[in-house]
Structure 1
Amino acid sequence: MMKKYDVFIVGAGVAGLYTSIILKKGTPMQVPNEPLGVAVAEATKIGGLTQYAFIQITKKWAFSGSNLIRTLYSEAVQSKVEFLENSGVTKIIKQSNGDFKIQTTNSEFIAKYVVIATGILTFPNILDSSNRFNIGLHTPEEMVKEIVNNYGWKKVLVVGNNENSIAKLTSKLIESKQFNIVSHYLLRTNINFQSQNYGLNEALLKSYDGILFDYNSYKLQNGSTHFLNNLNVTQENGYIKTNAFGETKVSGLFAVGSVTMPISGVPEAIYSGQVTGLYVGHLLEKTTIADPSGRFPFLPREENWKSSFQHKLEQNSDGDA
């Protein structure tokens, strides 16, 4: 018999981790764990792209992405969130009774609600090989300096999933006259979980000193949501469209974090995870253990959710989903 959860979250980056904590805690201020069954599935390494980042909120307020991930993961574990590691989701099916069947590389599960939190870079752990792979987060001019000063690459391959973007970046690198060879390679957006090195074959990799991932390419074309192709989910360039509460056109299917917006980052991921986590938690349990009056302070306390002002906001956003 397939294991059943109240909420199944796909992706263990900042958005997925924080959503799971909110579901189990009601709000971060509440100590008791909510009696909800919450699972987080991660295809590769917990933390997503954030684990490789140095996050700067202001000039004087900055912190390590890896430290943030360790903190969120620790709290999620303490909250009894169940982690399904090395479990890539391959298909999600909406059943006639309203539940979802989730197929992964390892098993199958049932859930009342599903939250997609896959970010933009399908397998960011390829960046573990920092001497061979780098993600271009800056202007082309700054990327040239970084490659020359930090890596000393002379033969560079630019990769990404938007052909126009990687071609432009390649041209900028060639114009710098700092490299012997600069080429570009268009990655498939539908990369299966068995593909090694993002589908780049070993012979191609050996032809270059290093691989530069074009971050801008992923902001133009998200490739992390191919497993949703069998569902009627509204997407644009791979980004999932939702209403104000993170719900898609498919009832019970939600999305949070940078998979829903071209403007990504830790603050946006945390905000969307909080809103969706509180909303889905309210659908499952109107009150919390710590605060029986309701999911205070973010959601209204009315017994009749349909008459609340918050629900009117939801109705107004339906056309955007």
Structure 2
Amino acid sequence: MEKIYDVIIIGAGPSGLSAAIYASRGNLSVAIVEKGAPGGKMVAQSKIENWPGDKMVMGADLALRMYEHAIEYGAEHLYGEVETVKSLSEFEKEVHLKSGNVLKAKSVVIATGMNERKPMDVEGILEFEHKGVSYCVICDGPLYGKNPAIVIGGGNSAVEEGAFLASIASEVHVFVRDAKFIAEPKLVEELMARDNVKVHFNSRVLKLMGTNSLEKALVEIDGKQQELKVASVFPYIGFIPASSMVKDLGIVEPNGFIKVDQFQETKVKGIYAVGDITQKEIRQIITATNDGGIAGKILTNRLGK
């Protein structure tokens, strides 16, 4: 007999895992579909200092704790990449995977978050992906050893990961297009305290060069072009909502985000959205877990046995 889950959750970031914890505790059959490492963007964060109860916790450690919590209560982890989601009726949903498999459920929670925005104006940015260009310092920073590196961006992620990268690379150049950082002052202080960090405001990276891997970058600093010898570039310039797999449901706003009500439900009955993919002002781990907890509790009340 074909299995029909009570809830299928697409994405294993903090919002998806929180929904899984609450729904599983409510004795619902729950499947989490994830194409990457559980934990979402937490896995790529060197440290987290605003999670209640932990003055400082490594992102990967917090991700593992949340994941193990969800699995312990009975949530099932299914590896796969979702191609599309179909709503046949209020309590009949289909999740089609790129592998060709089709999963069925009474309800679906979209917790897909956002994907890294790529600086397409930098010549060679795609050519050198995995050959020097990475979007995860904690994952790939050690691969390039004690070599000079570049971080692009002026927000929290760029500043925080730039400070962490300074403990690995011989020199870190931070390129900020504006005249100042938009990151939190405390994070900026930590970055500027590093002796091997050089910050370039009103500057940009123009072109990446190398034979088999990244060797140097053409940059513009204070209006003048020059070449820097670098082995790695880490862009942190924002994110794009990962909502393409549900665009046919008619729930995606023009900006790519999904609007939900106070119960985290979309305008399609039985389809919920949580975390960074939703239309909201504040996107933090704690707000993502809040969304997931609400959706998991509401689903328990509506589908509880």
Question: What is the TM-score with the length of structure 2 in the denominator?
Answer: 0.66
* Structure 2 alignment gaps of length 5 or more: 118-133, 145-149, 182-196, 218-230
Partner of 1:102: 95
**Structure 1 SS opposite 2:48:** strand
Q: Which amino acid is 1:210 matched to?
A: S
**Structure 2 SS opposite 1:80:** coil
1:57 to 30, 33, 50: 50
Q: Which amino acid is 1:266 matched to?
A: I
Q: CA 1:97–1:239 in 2, change beyond 3 Å: closer, same or farther?
A: closer
- Superposition RMSD on alpha carbons, in Å? 3.9
2:249 to 228, 231, 251: 231
Q: Which amino acid is 1:250 matched to?
A: V
**Structure 2 SS opposite 1:94:** strand
CA deviations on 1:273-292 (whole Å, 9 max, x unpaired) are 11111001111017xxxxxx
Partner of 1:213: 235
**Structure 2 SS opposite 1:283:** helix
Partner of 2:200: 176
Q: Which amino acid is 1:244 matched to?
A: Q
Distance 1:109 1:69 in 2: 25
Partner of 2:112: 118
Contact between 1:234 and 1:248, CA under 8 Å: does it hold in 2? no
Partner of 1:23: 23
> Structure 1 residue 114: deviation in Å?
0.5
- Quick one: percent identity of the two aligned structures? 26
**Structure 2 SS opposite 1:100:** strand
Question: What is the TM-score with the length of structure 1 in the denominator?
Answer: 0.63
Q: Which amino acid is 1:105 matched to?
A: K
1:273 to 286, 292, 301: 292
CA deviations on 1:205-242 (whole Å, 9 max, x unpaired) are 67653232224x22xxx331111111110425222110
1:274-293 map, 5 Å: 274-285=293-304
Q: Which amino acid is 1:239 matched to?
A: F
CA deviations on 1:151-174 (whole Å, 9 max, x unpaired) are 346899x8xxxxxxx9x4699999
* Structure 1 alignment gaps of length 5 or more: 27-33, 159-165, 186-201, 287-321
Q: Which amino acid is 2:200 matched to?
A: S
Asked whether 1:47 is paired with 2:71, we answer: no
Distance 2:157 2:88 in 1: 46
Distance 1:97 1:78 in 2: 29
Contact between 1:49 and 1:121, CA under 8 Å: does it hold in 2? no
2:82 to 89, 95, 119: 89
Distance 1:155 1:143 in 2: 12
CA deviations on 1:138-191 (whole Å, 9 max, x unpaired) are 3878887776775346899x8xxxxxxx9x469999982899x81389xxxxxx
Distance 1:126 1:140 in 2: 10
Contact between 1:89 and 1:105, CA under 8 Å: does it hold in 2? yes
